[in-house]
Structure 1
Amino acid sequence: MGHWLERNIVEPGKLPLLLALAAFVLTFVITRVITRLIRAGKGPFGNVKAGGLHIHHVVPGVVLVVIGGFGAVAGGRQGFGAALAAVVFGVGAGLVLDEFALILHLDDVYWTEQGRQSVEVVVITAAMVGLLLAGFSPFGVNDISADELQDRGAVIANVVANFFFSLVALSKGKARLAIFGAVVPFVGLVGAVRLARPGSPWARRFYPGRPRARARAELRAYHHDRRWARLSRTLQDWIGGKPDRPEPARLPGRR
């Protein structure tokens, strides 16, 4: 394990990326735990306020991202400074993306249905950074044999092909298949060859003159959502907490 870590993480200069990813995921988990305790009225935590203004944690997150980003640029890729900058950046990114939905909607939608977008963005970001971290690099590692270089080249060619199929799957509105397809072979290919979801860029471009394909796509999307929507919502609730239920509409003249 130590030899693999040295050759594939430390020697290619990926240690700051590993530290940033670990800090990012840990910050998100801790932040969600704290916010759920605040929501439930448990523990010693509470909302941060200054002069009656609620300070969202995206604010210190932005500050930490700026500090960590400029620190990484100034400190290079090696040494304690690079490691510290990576941790600071990861913590800041975790705080910012935990409130991504708030930034997107310019409203406090943290515990609403729109707030689920923050969880989705965090999961996607962690998956993509993990892909960068786990990817093999044929350059930047010393003493590579010809066979090992060939193997690494084959791996990179496979990754490039998977990435291409994942882009096609993404254009067809299959975000999850696109994400996993960038990591798992043939998953992106499955998403690339299947029918596009209604409303996706691919469907808007290629399905207007094909009513049969459009109808098949709508029917498949309906059955897919009916089969997997509940599981997806359960997983999101487990990670980020259940959103608030909207207030029931009241008839005029009734209280």
Structure 2
Amino acid sequence: MRRWLDDDVIAQGRLPLLCFLLGFIVGFLLIRLSVRLIRKQVRWWPGNLRSGGVHIHHMVFGVILVLASGIGMVTLYQSADTATASALAAAFGVGAALVLDEFALIYYLRDVYWEEQGRTSVDAVFVALAVTGLLLLGFHPLWMLDINDFRSDPDIEVRVFVVAFAVVNLGLAAIVIAKGKIWTGLFGMFFLPLLVVGALRLSRPGAPWARWRYGERRRLMYRAIVRERRYRRPVIRAKIFVQDLVAGKPDVEHVRTAAEAELSRTVVPAPPAPHRHHLSLFSHDHEPDPEPATPEP
């Protein structure tokens, strides 16, 4: 562990990134512990903060921490030593955890912390942890692409290859995301074969790609729905169990019921894309009526 810390983290300049990850994890665990104690109305634990009758969400303190530490990092970018940069990164991680823990509030513009939609916050936290972990392990987006090759090598062939490689990666990522495979697209930016597999496989039935390509191809849509329900069921059950474990008390029966409800809600065929003829009719129907000509005097 010590050798990994010295050789792969400190020597590679990733100590601030590690401190960010640790600050993020600690901040998330502490705020989840706090809100559970508040929900159970534990006497010795301070309750919600209020100002003038208005409940102050912990996201507010997260925004303040992110701004303060972010400004500090930008200001001291050239002169800060490793210890200062790591401390600011840890503070930034704590602030980011406080903000993402209430990401659902930002997304839905209402307090859904303990509701079904509140799981969106847990999803956002998992995404942040996954991306940070990959960066800490030395992976970076666009896989083998090294931007230093583009800057240092004057050879036109190398520059063309770097640009073409980046365009192919981004194009495949766009196709995968259009097929509704967000996690595959995310991790595929760090590992190209995942993007290739995701781009070749069937789209999820409710994704934009299915709407554009499967609207009049019923066999493909049927295969996509059957495949989605078969492979997504255990994944959704595991996801809901982990979300319940983080957000509240997990229950096996609730996991099964919630998984089937989510499958029924999400695994549906996308509506077919409107035909060009219909679009032209729609545009003509909504054109403003010409104003009557006024007779000249």
Question: TM-score normalized by structure 1?
Answer: 0.76
| CA shift in 2, pair 1:11/1:217, >3 Å | same
Task: Quote how far apart the aligned CAs of 1:217 are.
Answer: 1.1
Deviation at residue 182 of structure 1 after TM alignment: 5.5
Q: Secondary structure at the match of 1:108?
A: coil
Aligned to 1:146: none
Question: 3-state SS of the aligned residue for 1:129?
Answer: helix
Q: Does 1:201 align with 2:208?
A: yes
Work out the CA distance in 2 between the residues paired with 1:126 and 1:225: 22
Give the match for residue 22 of structure 1.
22
Q: Describe the shift of the 1:120–1:34 C-alpha distance in structure 2 as closer, same or farther (beyond 3 A).
A: same
Equivalences for residues 138-153 of structure 1 within 5 A: none
CA distance 1:29–1:167, shift in 2 (3 Å): farther
Query: Letter of the aligned partner of 1:121 in structure 2?
Result: A
1:230 equivalent in alignment to 2:237: yes
Q: For residue 277 of structure 2, what is the aligned residue in structure 1?
A: none
Number of equivalenced pairs: 226
Distance in 1 of aligned mates of 2:18 and 2:70: 15
- Corresponding residue to 2:103 among 100, 103, 111: 100
Q: Does structure 2 conserve the Cα–Cα contact (< 8 Å) formed by 1:197 and 1:221?
A: yes
Q: Does 1:41 align with 2:41?
A: yes
1:31 alignment partner AA: I
Contact 1:27 1:95 in 2 (8 A): yes
**Residues 60 and 92 in structure 1, CA contact (< 8 A), matched pair in contact too:** yes
Q: In the alignment, residue 181 of structure 2 is paired with which amino acid? A: K
Whose relative contact order is higher, 1 or 2, with alpha carbons under 8 Å and at least 6 apart? 1
Give the TM-score of the pair, scaled to structure 2. 0.66
Query: Corresponding residue for 1:85?
Result: 88
The one-character-per-residue Cα deviations of 1:169-212 (angstroms, maximum 9, x if unpaired) are: 43321234444556678555543332111221322333234222
Structure 1 residues 191 and 40: CA distance shift in structure 2, 3 A: farther
Unmatched 5+ residue regions in structure 2?
147-166, 255-297
Higher mean alpha-carbon deviation, 98-107 vs 74-83, is at 74-83
2:103 and 2:124 in contact (8 A); partners too: yes
* Mapped contact 1:166–1:178 kept (Cα < 8 A): yes
Partner Cα distance (2:83, 2:118) in 1 = 36
State the 1:45 CA deviation.
3.2
Within 1, Cα distance between the matches of 2:105 and 2:139? 36
Amino acid at match of 1:88: A
The whole-number CA distance in structure 1 between the counterparts of 2:121 and 2:180 is 18
Q: Percent identity?
A: 44
For the residue of structure 2 that corresponds to 1:173, the secondary structure is: coil
Deviations 1:115-153, CA, capped at 9 Å, x for gaps: 1000000001110011111116899xxxxxxxxxxxxxx
8 Å contact 1:131–1:182 — kept in the other structure? no
1:134 aligns with 2:137: yes
User: Which one-letter code corresponds to 2:69 in the other structure?
Assistant: G
Q: 1:216 aligns with which of 218, 223, 226?
A: 223
CA RMSD of aligned residues (A): 3.1
Shift of 1:13: 1.9
Q: Alpha-carbon deviation of 1:23? A: 0.2
Residue 249 of structure 1: aligned partner: none
For the pair 1:6 / 2:13, whether they are aligned, the reply is no
Larger Cα-atom Rg: 2
